[in-house]
Amino acid sequence: MTPTEMQDYKRAIGELQRDIAKDSVEIRECLRKLGEYLSYQEAEPLSDSAMKELHGRIRELRAKLPDSRQQVKKILQTAAGNEALEREIRGRKLQIAELGKKNREICESIGRAAYRAYKSLPVSGQVYEQLFESLEKQEKGLADLEAEQETLREQGRGGTFFKIFRESGRSVYVKGLLSLRRKAVGKTYHEVGEQICGSSQLQEELEDSRLQEALAPYQANERKINNLQREVDKLHTDQEKKWSELKTLGAYRSHQKRVREIESEIQRIETKMQDEFEALGTLFRNAHPGELQDTEAAGLIRRMREIGQDIRKKEKRIERFKAALQIDGLQNQLGNLADRASRLQEDIESRRREVETLRAQIADRQKEIQRLTRIRGSKHSLLEEESS
């Protein structure tokens, strides 16, 4: 056999073995389909107790699946709804925060409008004096600094170098102080505005169109904030219901973990069912080797019979290919054995000739010993003659 033929045989064996593996998988799939089909039929026609027992176990396993799948669906839907509520809550709170920020900015303008309204009153009560007393002092101090700054600016336009230099130093100081005072006044206006916004009585007593104009956006924002807060409260109530549902479903802490646990259990049940399908199908096929009236079961068994016959043909071909390879291997061994036998035979012939040579040498030496013995005669007489 040539090396090419040997490789072709080995390749053919590999392909046939892969085909057989695929066929075996198809047979197992047919057995599972047969078992699954039988599990949906009544158990009474099944011929023995083992099949009936498998039939009952499969139905018990199948009954567990809908509840488990429904539980997963319910958990995912509830968790998704909870996350959607959380996004809505965050969105509402962000809007509330933005409106609150706007109102804090509006408070300063409300305070200024309220101060102007206060200044326009013909008679002011003690409440207003306490409210605006600090602001009046700050405004007066601010006005004094602004007047001083203007005076320093006028003086800086003329005069000696040293006077200008001296006055400019004071001007820088006043400018810095004025900036600080303006910030402090703005803060006080803001605080006054907050008090006005928090007191409907003050708003009514300081009846002024400019104040009402300044209050309008603040009040509109407050209404929006209140509406948004009510929405947040309702969303929190809805969210609590979702959390309660998740707790009932055993998914309060981590719905993903609970879903994985249930899905793992579903996978275990489905795997077990596949094994039981195959076992039931195997028992049924072995118990009904002939024709059946049930066309579904008969079709599956017929298909498995066809695949089995095909497998046996392929196994027979594999045996033939393997036999051909073994013959080639044995023929190679025969050649090697013949070579060894030939070498051993040659060695035997050489040894035989060597033995014959050695035997001839032995015979020659024995003859020489006999000849020399005749010449020597008796050893005893030889010694006696020498002593005499």
Can you tell me the distance from the alpha carbon of 157 to that of 151, in angstroms, rounded to the nearest whole number?
Answer: 10
Residue 353 lies in a domain: yes
Cα 172 versus chain centre, distance = 65
13 and 131 fall within a common domain: no
The verdict on 155 and 240 lying in the same domain is yes
Three-state DSSP class for 357?
A: helix
Which of 290, 313, 336 marks a domain boundary?
313
- CA-wise closest residue to 304 among 33, 18, 16: 33
Q: Is 250 exposed, middle or buried (0-12, 13-18, 19+ CB in 10 A)?
A: middle
Residue 352 belongs to a domain: yes
Q: Which domain does 194 fall in, by range?
A: 107-248
Q: Where are the alpha helices (DSSP H) in 156-254?
A: 161-197, 200-205, 209-248
Distance from C-alpha of 188 to C-alpha of 112, rounded to nearest angstrom? 10
Q: Which residue, of 248, 264, 296, is where some domain finishes?
A: 248
- Is the alpha carbon torsion for 32, 33, 34, 39 positive or negative? positive
Asked if residue 96 lies in contact with residue 228, where contact means CB atoms within 8 angstroms, the answer is yes
pLDDT value at residue 192 = 76
Q: Model confidence over 188-246: pLDDT tens digits?
A: 777 777 777 777 766 666 666 777 787 888 888 888 999 999 999 999 999 898 888 88
Which residue's structure tokens are 């799948």?
Answer: 69
244 and 263, same structural domain? no
Residues 356-377: tens digit of each pLDDT: 999 999 999 999 888 888 887 7
93, part of any domain: no
Mean pLDDT on 18-34: 92
195 touches 131 (CB < 8 A): yes
184 with 111: CB under 8 angstroms? no
The answer to whether position 270 is within a domain reads yes
Show which of 223, 248, 273 is a domain's final residue: 248
What is the enclosing helix (H) or strand (E) of 386? Answer: helix 379-387
* pLDDT > 60? residue 167: no
